[in-house]
Amino acid sequence: AIDIRLLHGLAGAWDKSIRIYRNPEDSAERLRLKLYSHDAIALSEVVPAFENFGFRVIDEMTTAIDGGALGHVQRFVLELPAGGNAQAVVDRAEVVTEAIAQVIEGVAENDRFNELIVTAGFAPRAVVLFRALFRYLRQTGTAFGMATFADTLRREQGVARNLVALFEALHDPAAQDGSDKATAIQAEIDAGLEQVSSIDEDRVLRLIRAVITATLRTNFYAPAAAEALAFKIDSALVPG
């Protein structure tokens, strides 16, 4: 009944719907995903997307409903890395499934930063921010690649969350007492950086903070950001 309802709810041939759940016998790292679409989607399209969200695809089965006239249901068995908490992902099903659907529909970007939504519990907006800051840093010539940035933010989640909070305090027009909050957050970031053992990860986090504090203006919180993000940055304040 749920499958039929979700298929009937598709807005058009382009639309996709996703449901994630777990079975009683599933291990702590395992969950199930059902993908609903009018036409079955090639595995070569969806498997890389799932992998960028931090999943490993264990099994897949496609069912054509009424010979495909009503659409297709593709069932996937997915696993998180060892030690992952699949139930925590299911508990955030609304956020996670919408993020995956947008990637499969081609609305959102398909890269390693998406893993932060699943394995680190970040909001999609935070991932958009980190991706934009990374791209700026790549333009400045940083030697660190996307995988290093994504892995650093996943491993150092406390500092990463404070970096998002710092950006909000400094640049969100709706922020209250932004300057005072930013000072307190900076102190928390400094304390967090003291605990980072990897030199490369320390550099990555400091580079991200430098871009955030060097940002003079941004449309991140304006409606225009839906079309294209814009940052005015004092590049002299960014190392390198």
The predicted structure's pLDDT at residue 1: 74
The predicted structure's pLDDT at residue 205: 98
Q: Which parts of the chain sit beneath pLDDT 70?
A: none
The predicted structure's pLDDT at residue 133: 97
Q: Which neighbouring-strand residues pair with 78?
A: 31, 57
The predicted structure's pLDDT at residue 12: 80
The predicted structure's pLDDT at residue 143: 93
Task: List pLDDT tens digits, range 155-174.
Answer: 999 999 999 999 999 999 99
Q: What is the pTM of this model?
A: 0.91
Task: List pLDDT tens digits, range 41-56.
Answer: 999 999 999 999 999 9
The predicted structure's pLDDT at residue 11: 84
**Residues across the chain:** 240
The predicted structure's pLDDT at residue 10: 86
